Structure 1
């Protein structure tokens, strides 16, 4: 193909497709259910619009691998907190994350690292491969590059928040992870020193800013708006990233783009019309493509995470974790008439999470970003910035959706500390089982709490402890002399 003959990255753009199969999805409703195409040569991998789209779909497929956002990454983050009590001590279902005992040889550690960098490399392939393409329009190429940059940013954020010291411990001065921005197919460039935590965050935000500019306002269907990135998806993730670095002014600046109101009802007025659904159960187990779901990863009977990798299996079918009776379910802010209690199942006196309630095959969509999180991110940044009325209004909207008659203590609306505590509690209620608790503890430089029952316990982990973050994986230590 004429436009690629002079592209110096051609030779290694092709063989990075591992396995050497292209996935094609010609604007299917999900964009993530690709149809296998036979293996093709390095002369024509980018030579049709369908094959190019297949490469973009491949990035999403890497992201939804079992070890990453297919379920396990969320599980690792949630069980590090205090909300879940382990039952089985099963190393295949994140027991080592629950009791903070990972080593460099742990399968979870190596698989998470490999899954994230596979996503990053597949994004790099698309970014480099579409720089000079003439097969599709420049507008279409730019949008695909925007998707690739968004997904690269999300993968790097997922890595740095578990393998790097929290940004707020030293403003990102610590060593982070290798920053790989070139498409790779062999081992010749494996040796790469770690960039600082701050440098990784700088790249994440650069990618998200560029993605916002390049991505479309919205897609052609509700399904695509849920499963493919658009402008609001990049903006929403920026609120999470800026909150992590305590840049509250930027959280508010970004959030205001898709939450322009200062009082409820809150909804996006640009691009996709994001808003809270009247019942959270609609989002989990009902209609997975509502406007509350800013990004979710879809599953089908023939394309789903299975067995011990599936959140539904771990939390509900095999009941490997039950909800800590002394955790968030006992908090006064979560009353018995709150409709979110319907997402909990009581069995033999124990309570289990049922946000992922589909039986095998486990076809619950995996939530990555919801509008409720953006409202809570905005609420926290507003409260931290002294905008107490706005913070209280945002908090009340999220809580009131599920418990309209609840009244916060009077001080919540007027005292910054009380409001921030209420927002932190609301995050634990609203985002339970969605991969936030471990991250929230680390970004606030709080210890990982002790937890357990009469059968099994794990001690508190202080912020200075070696196991406060995940160890470097053996797969990287063995192949990267500069790590």
Structure 2
């Protein structure tokens, strides 16, 4: 892709300065580096800038996660955004602007992370420990960006064991030279993610000195566990999950932890009424709330998800909802999640990693690794069922244990952006009766944006687009 599209913040502008009756033109990026990376305090602002970019609608502000849920079977997207309707209907075109923006914002996060990784080690008067920590945070955020990108723009590992095309790897600090990187394979992208997270886990602290909302050792290990799970590398998933669980986290005893920054949270992007990822009418709470409470009414429960909860009456997670008018029209009353209740200001935090997800990763990897039902995996499942007010289960086979774990994943992590990948990992069709939604189908992933292909001759399109 053309660098000016990957790196929106690095487009060269010029400052006009009088010098001996001549105009001296200085690239803005040079001025930025001289100022920002000249002191510890300003270098820290560059790190915070990555988090701010990651907060955006198209990164972890709700849109990619909503897409993951309604391309699966947890959510009915009934909203009026034509670009999101195309994705829902598996009729997406390469000029879709929502897809274009997802691509661009992810690479903006990557670009800013690259800058910090390259420049922070040279900041004068900064403690070595702080340098290592800031670089570790940047590597964690770069890894998160690449994992989301490769999940949405490339077929999952299970299609061809990762030999298929992924996304371009852009790892160097932009210094003014325009390059046109080709797409790396999924395996190559995954290898870079693993490298970044391993290096981040080695230098990040168990708790961040600046408090919540910053990457930690546990967050890096948890994301490593997620990556290993997606690659079916069960021993690696077990090791990384146990390392994350060893951190200062604990599963909540009830479901009041959302937006509370509790021990349930491993990594959560912090939002407020004046600083959040909402853009225009979009955002977590906007998408997932009925119109009566200032939401868009776009993403109610699917009938399939409601049925999954109703199959066992008394599941407390089924009560995490509110009824209201959907975007389908006047009088259309549907059930909506209340995990993100503040549609007025969209101040709800963005849940990236919860310790419950890490335990479920551990349980799935244990279940897959054992020829007989894994006792530890069943214990984890039953601990979550107990929290949900359900009786314990005693699966009699390996497959029944795996099925029990996957059901808990669906019911625990609904609306948080996991469902599509969980279905594809097990080679399930995303939509019954729709050939475009079949596992391995062209439309189960997003197209490489046309704008990027127009500007980068090295970018191969996804098949079918």
Normalised-by-shorter TM-score class: 0.7 to 0.9
Partner of 2:227: 241
How much is the aligned-residue C-alpha RMSD, in angstroms?
2.3
1:18–1:232: structure 2 CA closer, same or farther, 3 Å change rule? farther
TM-score, normalised to structure 2's length? Answer: 0.86
CA–CA separation in structure 2 for the residues paired with 1:467 and 1:331:
26
TM-score, normalised to structure 1's length? Answer: 0.83
Deviations 1:401-452 (A, max 9, x none): 121x4232x4x1x31111111111111110010000111122222221149x
Deviations 1:87-138 (A, max 9, x none): 234326x322322222110011100000110000100000000233333111
The DSSP-based 3-state class of the residue aligned with 1:396 is helix
Match for residue 196 of structure 1 among 185, 193, 201: 185
Partner of 1:72: 63
CA–CA separation in structure 2 for the residues paired with 1:155 and 1:250:
21
Question: 5+ unaligned residues in a row in structure 2: which ranges?
Answer: 1-6, 14-29, 290-294, 325-331, 460-465
CA–CA separation in structure 1 for the residues paired with 2:309 and 2:281:
33
Match for residue 382 of structure 1 among 352, 356, 366: 366
Partner of 1:283: 257
Q: Is the 8 A contact 1:16 1:184 kept in 2?
A: no
Partner of 1:474: 450
Partner of 2:287: 314
The residue correspondences of 1:179-218 to structure 2 (distance < 5 A) are 179-184=169-174, 186=176, 188-189=178-179, 191-218=180-207
Partner of 1:232: 218
The residue correspondences of 1:403-442 to structure 2 (distance < 5 A) are 403=389, 405-408=390-393, 410=394, 412=395, 414-442=396-424
CA–CA separation in structure 1 for the residues paired with 2:182 and 2:99:
19
The residue correspondences of 1:33-432 to structure 2 (distance < 5 A) are 41-91=32-82, 94-184=84-174, 186=176, 188-189=178-179, 191-220=180-209, 224-225=211-212, 227-259=213-245, 268=246, 270=247, 273-280=248-255, 282-285=256-259, 287=260, 289-306=261-278, 307-316=280-289, 317-325=295-303, 327-331=304-308, 335-347=312-324, 349-386=333-370, 388-403=374-389, 405-408=390-393, 410=394, 412=395, 414-432=396-414
The DSSP-based 3-state class of the residue aligned with 1:86 is coil
Q: Is the 8 A contact 1:284 1:355 kept in 2?
A: yes
CA–CA separation in structure 1 for the residues paired with 2:11 and 2:402:
46
CA–CA separation in structure 1 for the residues paired with 2:230 and 2:272:
33
Q: Is the 8 A contact 1:175 1:195 kept in 2?
A: yes
The DSSP-based 3-state class of the residue aligned with 1:346 is strand
1:338–1:129: structure 2 CA closer, same or farther, 3 Å change rule? same
CA–CA separation in structure 2 for the residues paired with 1:145 and 1:333:
46
Q: Is 2:426 the partner of 1:444? A: yes
Deviations 1:23-48 (A, max 9, x none): xxxxxxxxxxxxxxxx9654322112
Q: Deviation of residue 19 (structure 1)? A: 11
CA–CA separation in structure 2 for the residues paired with 1:275 and 1:246:
25
